Amino acid sequence: METATTPVQQDPTLTGDTVVPSALNAALPTRLNTDTGATLPSATDATELLSPELPLADPAALPTTLLDPLQQFLNVGGPVVWILLGFSVIALSIVLLKIWQFTLLRPESSPRLEYSLGLWRASRTDEALEGIKGQGPIYELVALAMVGLQNGGDTPLLRDELARIASLRLNQLRAFLRPLEVIAMLSPLLGLLGTVLGMIGAFQQMEAAGNQVDPSVLSGGIWQALLTTAVGIAVAIPVTLAHSWLERKTERVAALMSDSVTQVFTSAPALQYRAASDHSEALRRAA
């Protein structure tokens, strides 16, 4: 049997073998197969088969930013992790501030100090004072000791003044070290507290489930509870190291202060002898 088809109507604007796809799609309706009664696809259907539309991307499958895992981590940890995060930010700020302070003052740097003390031993006091000018606390104390010995000799008042200034400068170097020590001590304890609270919540969920206890509920509660302990230890370890390092630098500055000032007092025999002679002469005149 023959298949009945609808004749194609040519567009009068077309010449030769040129065929416009839109005109062809409009001119080719669906054909019927008279033998089987099946419907054959038209040109429009064939075009859709050849160029199918791409499926839209699932928003849930899109890559997440770096803040999303951090937010999920904080939500799982609860308020204890938020507190520990605040502790870590405060500790980092203090460490950066102390590094800037030590870099600016350079209290342990004493390349000119030994040279000035050598000039002081040789009784070249003016040159020694000129070479010791600096911004560090050690230079300040040594210069004050030299000037005091030149003017009034070794007196208890001079020693008290030197002790006062040394204590003031060391307290400035020790500033904010106590908060670092507190953060290093409290961080593991807060992590342990979060673990205990998380375990209590997990066992409460088990009790509410009754006989239908799901092991995944218990395991999920346990790892969420242990997360706070891990965060607390992770905060405490670097803070403890930074506190020990800064405290050791301060102790070295204190030892260098004491040693330098002691050298000023013990290495000026000519000045001490002259001060003693002047004192004896004053006593003889008073008698």
Domain range list for the chain? 109-268
What pLDDT, on a 0 to 100 scale, did the predictor assign at position 114?
A: 82
Would you state the structure tokens that stand for residue 129, as one six-digit string?
């004072």
State how far the Cα of 164 lies from the Cα of 52, in Å rounded to an integer: 86
Most confident of 31-35, 114-118, 191-195, 278-282: 191-195
Which contiguous run of DSSP H or E holds residue 210?
A: none
Q: Which of 94, 88, 258, 54 is nearest to 176 (CA)?
A: 94
Collapsing DSSP to helix, strand or coil, 39 comes out as: strand
How much of the chain exceeds pLDDT 70, in percent? 62
Chain center to CA of 194: 23
Give the confidence band of 70 by pLDDT, cuts at 50, 70, 90. Answer: low
End-to-end CA distance of the chain: 156
Of the candidates 34, 30, 29, 31, the one whose C-alpha atom is nearest the C-alpha of residue 3 is 34
Asked if pLDDT for residue 116 goes beyond 50, the answer is yes
Token pair 């405290």: residue: 247
Model pTM score: 0.65
Q: Which of 67, 91, 83 is nearest to 245 (CA)?
A: 91
- Residues 54-67: what's their mean pLDDT? 50
- At 242 the pLDDT is 96
Nearest 10 degrees: Cα torsion 121, 123, 125, 130 = -60
More confident residue, 173 or 53: 173
- Residue 54's SS3 state is coil
- Quote the mean pLDDT of the chain: 74
Report helix, strand or coil for 223. Answer: helix
Q: Is the pLDDT of residue 266 over 80?
A: yes
Cα 134 to Cα 258: distance, rounded to the nearest angstrom: 18
Q: Could you give the angle at the alpha carbon of 166 between the alpha carbons of 165 and 171, nearest 5°?
A: 100
CA dist 135 → 102, 103, 192 (Å): 12, 12, 45
